[in-house]
Structure formats: C-alpha cells, structure tokens
Amino acid sequence: MNYVVDTNVLLRSVQTRHPMQRVAYMAIATLRSQGEKLCLTSQNVIEAWAVATRPLAYNGLGMTIEQAARQFGKIKRFFTILPDNPHILAEWEGIVVQYRVHGKQAHDARIVAAMKVHGVTQLLTFNTDDFKRYADITAVHPSNVAAP
C-alpha cells in the first residue's frame, strides 16, 4: 500500500527537538520496514520548504537556503515524489466544490487531489480531523502505525 506523508509529519520527523519527532520518525520507519511506499506531493514539498526557511520567530525552522536545500536533497532520495500533472488541478476543482472547501483548507484539498489522481488512499498525518471529510482517503495518525 502507498502512503502520502503529510507536511506536518515530514517536518516533525526532521526536527530533533520537537516533542512529536520520535512518533513521526518511528511511523515513517515502521511503514518503510513493512514495505510500504512513502510518497510526497509537490504541495508537501513546497509547504515544508516554506516552514523550513521561515524564521524561528515566525514559527519556522530558521534554516538557511543552503541548509534547506541539503535537507530537501535527502528527502527527495528517501520519498517518492508524485509528479504534478493537469489531472490534479481538475480533480482539485471538483473536490473544493464537492466538499465546500475554503481558505487554507484548499492546500489540503490539493494533497487529496494528487492522492486520488495517483491512486493513493492512505495519508500519514497528525491532522486527521482535517481530512475526515474526504471519503476516498484514510487519514492515519502516526501514533496509530503499528510497529513491525
């Protein structure tokens, strides 16, 4: 089974001082050891870059461009990046109307659209409530991933 790893799990897994780091890291490691394919969408990568390079004072990680580029080089080797294609926008348009999505929730809807286009039904996320509305995917909290 394939999983998309949400931005919040991706970021927590690399933040060594964050209280949820171990849970995020262990969930990713467990899924990988079980042979699951772990994916990111371009939306996840862009969101993670924004947080990584945002100053600490503004709830970011305060990475320099060079630090972020090195970290993202590692991330791209570890995860499968689902490619963008024109079908994602069309799927997203249908999702935002069907589920009456507004504001910042539009970013999550784009992740769901990419998942649907690529046939991925599992999302590893700390924000399971944000994805409950979407009938075609299952949001899995990292703490609910069983160890091998």
Q: Does 148 have pLDDT greater than 60? A: no
In a domain, 24, yes or no: yes
Q: Could you give the number of structural domains in the chain?
A: 1
Q: Could you read off the pLDDT of 14-61 as tens digits, one per residue? A: 888 889 999 999 999 999 999 999 999 999 999 999 999 999 999 899
In a domain, 107, yes or no: yes
pLDDT of residue 1: 83
pLDDT of residue 16: 84
In a domain, 148, yes or no: no
In a domain, 147, yes or no: no
pTM > 0.85:
yes
CB 24 within 8 A of CB 13: yes
* Percent of the chain clearing pLDDT 90 (strictly above): 91
Q: What is the CATH number of the domain that holds 49?
A: 3.40.50.1010
pLDDT of residue 14: 86
CA distance 51 to 44: 11
Instruction: Give mean pLDDT, residues 126-143.
Output: 96
Q: Does 146 have pLDDT greater than 70? A: no
Range of the domain at 63: 2-139
Number of neighbouring beta carbons within 10 Å of residue 5: 26
In a domain, 146, yes or no: no
